Amino acid sequence: MGGCSTRDVIAAVRAGSEAVTEHRDELVRLDREIGDADHGENMERGFRAAVSQVESAPSETPGAVLKLVATTLISSVGGASGPLYGTAFLRAASAVGDVTELDGTAVAAALQAGMEGVTARGKAVVGDKTMIDALSPAVDAAKSAAGSGHGPSGVLAAAAEAAHTGARNTEELVARKGRASYLGERSAGHVDPGARSTALLLGTFAETTGVRR
């Protein structure tokens, strides 16, 4: 089982950016239903900027790549996804430290730290119809996969699957955080765009690391 190298993390960020671009219209549509319709555009802009940063500045470690992605998202995304994803990547970067390769346990720990960052920043809990509804089950699945000896791709695959289910389940929820919460009951019946983009990114990260093997 190979670990996840700096180059792998960069490849994952690039694939994440492509996935966000590919699903831009879907994210815009979801956000138009219950938000301000800027999620697709914001995510596309943020991740494009992140890719251009990580490709132009050489990073020594996975942590350094994650940190660069974090600061780029924070400074280039105007909506809530900037500070939220930015904080997630920043905390993930701190969690992995300066190792040169991530094993399954490190990936799970990075996801956990990322989720704690999002929680600290946005104060959302499970059931509020936010990205936490995708991220929280993903972290649980990742920890359990890492605990049973899976490497990065297995951990990410488990996380992605749980995140997809979690995102899908936001459809029936009434939003209690974020712009959608102003809609009250009317927010039910739509998948949360932040949960969707979280699942999308984790799915892409899982595919990228999986393809290598």
Phi, psi of 5 (to 5 degrees): -90, 175
Task: Please identify, among the stretches 18-26, 73-81, 141-149, 168-176, the one whose residues bind other proteins according to the rule CB under 8 A.
Answer: 73-81
Q: Cα separation of 180 and 38, whole Å? A: 13
Q: Cα separation of 211 and 153, whole Å? A: 9
Nearest to 127 by CA among 207, 195, 68: 195
Angle between helices 152-168 and 193-211 (to 10 degrees): 160
Q: Which of 17, 53, 59, 87 binds other proteins (CB under 8 A)?
A: 87
- Decide if residue 40 touches other proteins (CB under 8 A): no
Rg (CA), the chain: 16
Q: Which of 24, 48, 74, 207 binds other proteins (CB under 8 A)?
A: 74
From the CB of 80, what's the least distance to other proteins, in Å? 4
- Decide if residue 46 touches other proteins (CB under 8 A): no
- Decide if residue 109 touches other proteins (CB under 8 A): no
Return all residues near 1 (Cβ < 8 A) that are at least 6 apart: 103, 104, 151
Q: Which of 16, 46, 63, 79 binds other proteins (CB under 8 A)?
A: 79
Q: Which of 10, 23, 30, 42 binds other proteins (CB under 8 A)?
A: 42
C-beta of 84 vs 134, nearer to other proteins: 84
Binding site residues, other proteins, CB under 8 A: 36, 38, 42, 74-76, 78-80, 82-84, 86-87, 121-122, 177-179
